[in-house]
Amino acid sequence: MPNDSGTAERLTKYRERLLETAVLTVPLGLISTLGNAIQKSALGAPWRILWIVVPLAVAGWLTYRFIKRDPTPLRHWRWALLFGAFSSLFAVLSVSDLLLWRTIAAADRTIAARPWMLPVRAGDWHYWFARPLPPDPDALVVVMLEAPPGATTEELRRREAEVIRLAQQAEQVIGIGFDVFFVGPSAADAELCDAIVASNLAVFSGYTRQVVDADSYVELPARPPLPCQPRSQQGHLLGFADADGRVRAQQLWFRSTGDQPSFSLIVAQAIQERFRRTATAASGENILRYLPPADRKPPLTLEQLAATPTLLNNKFLLVGIQSPLDRFDTPFGQLPGTIIQAYAVHSLLTDRTITRASPFWSAAMVFATCYVLLLFATQRRSSRFLLLSAGLMSVLVVAAAALSMLVWHVWVEVVYCLTAVWLWLTILLVARRRLLVVDPQHPQPSTTAIAADSR
């Protein structure tokens, strides 16, 4: 008859070897698969993969060290099932955004109102670490026109004609952009058009939402208010306000064909064409997350421009109107819409904007941090040790996001990872007493034995 005890012993050894192999193989396999997927489609920059592969590699290395050192490694299939279900759930949530915890907009999407869940401004701490953009040698010259109370459309357009005449006194002005949308005709239109034609300059303006039958949409006016201005020199003036009203980004064009560009985009393209630059930033995603330049020069007044027209030599003139209705809340304070347009143009010219990291980064960090906590829990670490470990990993995750913004202007979401770490820690503290299996060959001392020894 076969030796039942020998067969059982061999099966036990085989099971342990298979389990140890699985514990090592699964994390490393996930690292390889996730790394290849991200390299192909997620981040688009090979060096950024280190932010994901390194934490996962550390998790795999810790697994190997614990298995080699501890005679009672993880042996209960319920741990693997619980960890797999939890990490998969949060990975799906972070990638698909089902909880709407994003604090920066994705392309062609708004951020939903969810103040009861997570305020939008909770993520604005990233801007503390965003380096200002370097000054551009071909930077704009911004002029803000005063709009006295009760000023008529005719008076404002006469001032705009005066600005064009002043620009003619400078040398090689690239162009003029009026951060306004002309609504209806006025008695000063002929004077303004005469100034535009005589200057032989490219003069840009904007348009905004059109309302038809109570429905608003973005569309070029059917008839340009100024007959002397071609449609190609008009761009939409709309910002990208989130649910809290703060303007953090700008949509570069409407329609999938890109035939309705923003005002800042056509201005940047005009400057790039003048200096024969490649419009790299304009060819990216539709949402532009602008940044201010390091030298935030105050805008000029019409009087200063009249005193020194040479300030416009080889420059592009951006003209706005001082109005309380044209001020918006931004991460950089209350700013006029014209200054926001200037920041957007500057970001396009320098090709440096805030980019959004792939949600796969968040999913990988959820897996790595929760996996390390699982290893500590199965090693019977104290609750205090687990709390300190969770706190340290939370600090490291936030520090990595801050460093990513500081060095590369890449916005990395941390809310999913931080929530997963502390929720998973709570589950571990509650469940480990029931799921830990004591090895008969290495039993833990009971409280009775400890008490007897103490006597």
pLDDT of residue 116: 45
Query: How far apart are the C-alpha atoms of 34 and 364, rounded to whole Å?
Result: 8
Tens digits of residue pLDDT in 402-421: 999 999 899 988 888 898 99
Q: Where are the domains of the chain?
A: 11-116+358-454, 140-353
pLDDT of residue 144: 94
Mean pLDDT (the chain, rounded): 76
DSSP 414-429: -HHHHHHHHHHHHHHH
**DSSP SS3 for 396:** helix
Decide if pLDDT at 22 tops 70: no
pLDDT of residue 9: 66
Share of the chain above pLDDT 70, in %: 64
Tens digits of residue pLDDT in 275-321: 766 555 444 578 899 999 988 888 999 999 999 999 899 999 999 99
**Closest CA relative to residue 369, chosen from 405, 335, 400:** 400
Specify the higher pLDDT residue, 6 or 123.
123
Long-range contacts of 371-376 (CB under 8 A, 24+ apart): 371/27, 371/59, 371/63, 371/83, 371/87, 372/58, 372/59, 372/62, 373/421, 373/424, 373/425, 373/428, 374/74, 374/79, 374/83, 374/424, 374/428, 375/59, 375/62, 375/63, 375/66, 375/74
Across the range 212-226, mean pLDDT stands at 64
Query: How far apart are the C-alpha atoms of 338 and 316, rounded to whole Å?
Result: 14
* pTM score: 0.76
Tens digits of residue pLDDT in 153-172: 888 899 999 999 999 999 88
Residue 433 has φ and ψ, to the nearest 5°, of -65, -30
Decide if pLDDT at 137 tops 90: no
- pLDDT tier at 391, thresholds 50, 70, 90: very high
Query: How far apart are the C-alpha atoms of 136 and 272, rounded to whole Å?
Result: 12
- pLDDT tier at 103, thresholds 50, 70, 90: low
Residues 6+ apart with CB under 8 A from 58: 368, 372
Query: How far apart are the C-alpha atoms of 23 and 74, rounded to whole Å?
Result: 8
Decide if pLDDT at 73 tops 60: no
Tokens at residue 277, please?
Answer: 């630059």
Residues 6+ apart with CB under 8 A from 70: 379
Do strands 175-178 and 316-322 pair parallel, antiparallel, or not at all (unpaired)? parallel
Element (H, E) at 333: strand 333-336
Contact 412, 363 (CB under 8 A): no
Share of the chain above pLDDT 90, in %: 26
